[in-house]
Amino acid sequence: MFVPKETLNESASINIAPLMDVMTIILIFLLVNFSVQDSSFEAPKELHLPISSSLSPPRNALYLVMSKKELHVGNKLVAHLSGDEFWQEEENDDGIILPLLSFLEIEAKKGEGELGGTSIGDLQRRPIFFQADESLPFGLLGQVMRTSAQAGFRYIHLAVFNPDT
């Protein structure tokens, strides 16, 4: 018959020091690579944005700015306003703003890299961040949105003023 000489009563322990090292490295990696996007932007002085309480920050997009006299894409002037309408020579019979359409079509051909666009199946997601003076009629904003959609820019974000920030 077999009888053990001694009964060992050693407690089993796990060394967690290597695990803590790995978790610390992962935490540092995530903190270093976490990108923070600035949630504020400068609106032109003559532009008065409508008020909102939304807390979502603006995204990386193509910026359209429409004041009472001009329409800019980024820093480039693309269309002119007189009163509450675009210049007649800058729009067609359907209300499409021709200089804006041609500019956006060129931007669409540049690809998604610069604008932060993403591809979903055959649909290209190209965001536009649109700032407009609060006193402009919605018909003008509708023209800009319709022109943008025709050029393939269907994700339009409207800028508003948040008094809480």
Give me the sheet containing 155-158, strands edge to edge: 85-86, 76-82, 70-73, 62-66, 127-132, 155-158
Query: Taking all residues of the chain, what is their mean pLDDT, rounded to a whole number?
Result: 75
23-48 pLDDT, tens digit each: 898 888 887 776 554 455 566 676 66
Predicted pLDDT at 123: 46
Say whether pLDDT at 99 is over 80.
yes
Q: DSSP letters of 72-117? A: EETTEEEEEEETTEE-GGGB-TT--BHHHHHHHHHHHHH-STTTT-
Q: Where in the chain does DSSP place strands (E)?
A: 62-66, 70-73, 76-82, 85-86, 118-120, 123-125, 127-132, 155-158
Predicted pLDDT at 114: 46
Q: Where are the domains of the chain?
A: 62-158
Say whether pLDDT at 116 is over 50.
no
Domain 62-158, CATH class in plain words? alpha beta
Number of Cβ within 10 Å of residue 11's Cβ equals: 4
pTM, 2 dp: 0.57
DSSP letter at 152? T
Task: Return all residues near 141 (Cβ < 8 A) that are at least 6 apart.
Answer: 66, 130, 132
Considering only residues 32 and 135, tell me which one the structure prediction assigns the higher pLDDT: 135
48-91 pLDDT, tens digit each: 666 655 555 555 678 888 888 889 888 899 998 888 888 889 88
Say whether pLDDT at 134 is over 60.
yes
Considering only residues 90 and 6, tell me which one the structure prediction assigns the higher pLDDT: 90
